[in-house]
Amino acid sequence: MPQLLRPPLVAGNWKMNKTVSQAHNFVNNLKEAVTEVNDVEIVICPPYTALFSLNQVLKGSNIFLGAQNMYYYEKGAFTGEISPLMLQEAGCRYVILGHSERRIYFGEEDTLVNLKVKAALRTGITPIICIGEQLADREAGKTEEVVQKQLVGSLAGLEPELCQMVVIAYEPVWAIGTGQNATAFEAQEVSNFIRKLLVNNAGSNRAKKIRLLYGGSVKPDNIAGFIKQPDIDGALVGGASLEVADFSLIIKAIKKEVENKCQQPS
Ligand code: PGA
């Protein structure tokens, strides 16, 4: 079967949910549920406490680990923070950066996200950079302005070769945890806008290879519509990644849509 230019990716953002034993339970069941899926990259982003031991459980499986945040120094007097080096040793291949909950509750801004993006890439960890507008921005017709500012700020000063490595998650803030997802059309419109902007950072050939995810109330019954879109390469899933049944349905639906996409002329 032909391969897509951008390998599909689905990441489960558990946020502040699951103890270590709950995490192990989940992962053991998920492994069984998705053994057949080898053409979708599956990532679990548990709390820090579960990372190291989950890495042992996931070895040799088709599921990879990501963290939900990190600081940008390798080590030092930063009480409560976690460094890229620590995440790397714990087995993380990905790290979510600039999630709207970090921006809203912890005051993270694009300049800090930018430092973290650079630190992750230096360490060989792929950043999943979250950008997206608030409801008031959308209602004021400012979606593109806000998304552009966040994207430009997060990627400032990155060489095109490094820029190609990042993953961008478009997550409209009004859709996160609300059950009110963006329509597939709205998500495609913004994703296409993002891909065009990425040409400025990465050049047109590399921009075509950067994976764009949609996030915000993704569920088993709406995922297919997103994956059918030409600029959407996967999903960042919050609530629906906490139950094996829902998350595995989402993963399998992505697999099915990806197979359909592979059949279409690009
Ligand atoms: P949700 O969260 O799927 O629960 O809306 C998405 C996210 O925060 O990444």
Torsions phi, psi of 190, nearest 5?
-70, -40
Locus of tokens 């430092």: 115
CATH number assigned to the domain with residue range 9-263, chosen from the 4 options 3.20.20.70, 3.40.50.720, 1.25.10.10, 3.30.70.1290: 3.20.20.70
99: confidence class by pLDDT, cuts 50, 70, 90: very high
Which is the closest atom of ligand 1 to the Cα of 236?
9
Report pLDDT digits (tens) over 71-81: 999 999 999 99
Spacing of C-alpha 143 from chain mean position: 20
What are the φ and ψ backbone dihedral angles of 40, each rounded to 5 degrees? -125, 130
CA of 217 to the centre of ligand 1 (A): 6
Q: Is residue 128 within 6 Å of ligand 1 at its C-beta?
A: no
Confidence at 264, pLDDT banded by 50, 70, 90: confident
The percentage of residues in the chain with a pLDDT greater than 90, rounded to a whole number, is 96
Beta strand pairing status for 126-131 and 167-170? parallel
> Which value, in Å, is the radius of gyration of the alpha carbons in the chain?
17
Taken as a whole, the chain contains a residue count of 266
Answer yes or no: are the C-beta atoms of 133 and 172 closer than 8 Å: yes
Measured by CA distance, the residue closest to atom 3 of ligand 1 is: 238
pLDDT tens per residue across span 193-232: 999 999 999 999 999 999 999 999 999 999 999 999 999 9
pLDDT at residue 265 greater than cutoff 70: no
Domain boundaries, the chain: 9-263
As a whole number of angstroms, the distance between CA 173 and CA 243 comes to 22
Per-residue pLDDT at 32 exceeds 60: yes
Q: What is the pLDDT of residues 6-28, one digit of tens each?
A: 999 999 999 999 999 999 999 99
Residue among 167, 163, 132, 168 at smallest CA distance from 147 = 132
Determine the pLDDT at residue 262. Answer: 87
| CA 192–ligand 1 middle distance (angstroms) | 21
Q: CB under 8 Å, gap of 24 or more: what pairs does 55-63 form? A: 55/90, 55/91, 57/24, 57/27, 57/28, 57/31, 58/27, 58/31, 58/91, 61/31, 62/34, 62/35, 62/37, 62/38, 63/27, 63/30, 63/31, 63/34
Q: Whose CA is nearest to atom 1 of ligand 1?
A: 238
Residues above pLDDT 70, as percent of the chain: 98
